[in-house]
Structure 1
């Protein structure tokens, strides 16, 4: 259970950082809804310190700014309706709010993470779901753009989650995703983006690569697709 991995009173934040990194890297496939909820509910109160300060991940900032650049390039206003998929504690939403965006919905698998999002004061709506099993029919073509930073990996959201997010966006809208290079290329996520391009679901309109996506100079990608 996740509690055995992360909640021992004897573990320092550094210990939890090491265990979380190994858990995210080594899990053979996507985890169950219950396990993912437990992991992220338990970490909600110290997640920012764990992920940013101890693990050195600032993809939320780089990804938000890349997304903003893409939106500005294609003439979207600051009042568009945005879905922050895998919102976590609200780091992406907070940065987008600082950049002027005013209509953001937070989506996450963890109830306690969404409580943290509410405290940031930058979201209008909140939705708890597992993108691996929830079709989000209520949000069909409801958003002008989606941002999904750091959720597509073998331990978190499977490749078909991209189709779910695609279905939430109006024609001409944007979907921005990020992933570690290893996970993107080796666990079906890259193949899914290419399949969706080939079938006319969306077209790839932007890409930014980084050699320091995560601690240890791990490479990663930020990608933007326009819904067709």
Structure 2
């Protein structure tokens, strides 16, 4: 901390008592004493010369502020850092770790993908929180706004349930009966710890049949698995098959093209075809530009999000 310059200037001022003393001394020996004031008065310039040295330091200190923020202001289109942007920057080291982890396991092979979910299971929820993963909340909100029945009585099939994020949210809102399906044993172990599931089933979507009885569930929900390497497009027919007539199917998809394959186009063709076949009716489709931070690329450093979509269908009564 810089010294208080006002305190320094006060300490250098001559008091009235000192002045009176000088007058008495000067009147006793005028020739000798009158020569000394120039020597005494010459010292204040030496003392007063130090404040400029002190005052020169604040510019040096304040100049460091832009430098310390420079890497932050470069984010995005260089707007002033908002609170949300600063929160993202505070988690940059964690986001980098998540990005590095995900990129180290880039694969479209479902069996290989399961291996890294087994490794990731214990840290999954913490890492996805850092990545601002909003898909579970978006899906549950969309479902609730269109669910007409009793939440306590409803039987829910949570497909690709992972560690249980979706069922945790739904249980807080009154749902009580859950069956979970996932291809990762490590994830199912985490889901079991929630105590929310009456049954948990291990199955790799697309390579094994969905282990669910036909026309059984009031709600079938699948969050985060509609992409290549997770669940093939054909799985949506299995979701519909497991749903009770009049029940709801809720799904989410991230906008992400892998290996040049347009998953979105194939998925939406299949959804439309099933509607034309009379299997179900579309109730709602919601888009978001903040599905999650783009932890798959360096865009995450700029606070850029991936977009996504929520689909909600009602199974036909026939």
TM range (shorter): 0.7 to 0.9
Normalised to the residue count of structure 2, the TM-score between the two structures is: 0.61
Map residues 203-222 of structure 1 onto 2, 5 A cutoff: 203-215=281-293, 216-222=304-310
Tell me which residue corresponds to 1:7: none
Structure 2 Cα separation of the partners of residues 23 and 153 of structure 1: 18
Q: Could you list the per-position Cα deviations for residues 30-69 of structure 1 after superposition, in whole angstroms to 9, with x for gaps in the alignment?
A: 4233x1221111000100112221x221211221222222
Q: For the Cα contact (< 8 Å) 1:94–1:122, is it kept in 2?
A: yes
Alpha-carbon distance change, 209 to 76 in structure 1, aligned in 2, over 3 angstroms: farther
Q: For the Cα contact (< 8 Å) 1:140–1:169, is it kept in 2?
A: yes
Say which of 59, 63, 74 aligns to 2:135: 59
Normalised to the residue count of structure 1, the TM-score between the two structures is: 0.84
Q: For the Cα contact (< 8 Å) 1:104–1:124, is it kept in 2?
A: yes
Say which of 193, 215, 223 aligns to 2:271: 193
Tell me which residue corresponds to 2:114: 37
Which deviates more, 90-99 or 13-22? 13-22
Alpha-carbon distance change, 196 to 129 in structure 1, aligned in 2, over 3 angstroms: same
Give the drift of 1:18.
0.7
Map residues 56-135 of structure 1 onto 2, 5 A cutoff: 56-71=132-147, 74-135=148-209
Q: For the Cα contact (< 8 Å) 2:155–2:217, is it kept in 1?
A: yes
Structure 1 Cα separation of the partners of residues 211 and 308 of structure 2: 30
Q: For the Cα contact (< 8 Å) 1:211–1:219, is it kept in 2?
A: yes
Give the drift of 1:219.
1.5
Kindly report the root-mean-square deviation, in angstroms, between the aligned alpha carbons of the 2 structures: 2.2
Question: 1 or 2 for the larger relative contact order (CA 8 Å, sep ≥6)?
Answer: 1
Alpha-carbon distance change, 91 to 138 in structure 1, aligned in 2, over 3 angstroms: closer
Tell me which residue corresponds to 1:224: 312
Structure 2 Cα separation of the partners of residues 76 and 181 of structure 1: 33
Tell me which residue corresponds to 1:17: 98
Q: Could you list the per-position Cα deviations for residues 60-85 of structure 1 after superposition, in whole angstroms to 9, with x for gaps in the alignment?
A: 122122222221xx334431110011
Equivalenced residue count is 210
Matched, 1:46 2:123: yes
Larger Rg: 2
Alpha-carbon distance change, 21 to 203 in structure 1, aligned in 2, over 3 angstroms: farther
Alpha-carbon distance change, 21 to 138 in structure 1, aligned in 2, over 3 angstroms: closer
Structure 2 Cα separation of the partners of residues 135 and 50 of structure 1: 30
Unaligned runs of 5+ in 1: 1-11
Alpha-carbon distance change, 44 to 207 in structure 1, aligned in 2, over 3 angstroms: same
Q: Could you list the per-position Cα deviations for residues 178-217 of structure 1 after superposition, in whole angstroms to 9, with x for gaps in the alignment?
A: 001345x921211111111111121101122111111122
Structure 1 Cα separation of the partners of residues 232 and 101 of structure 2: 19
Q: For the Cα contact (< 8 Å) 1:131–1:164, is it kept in 2?
A: no
Q: Which has the higher helix share?
A: 2
Where 1:39 maps in the other structure, the secondary structure is helix
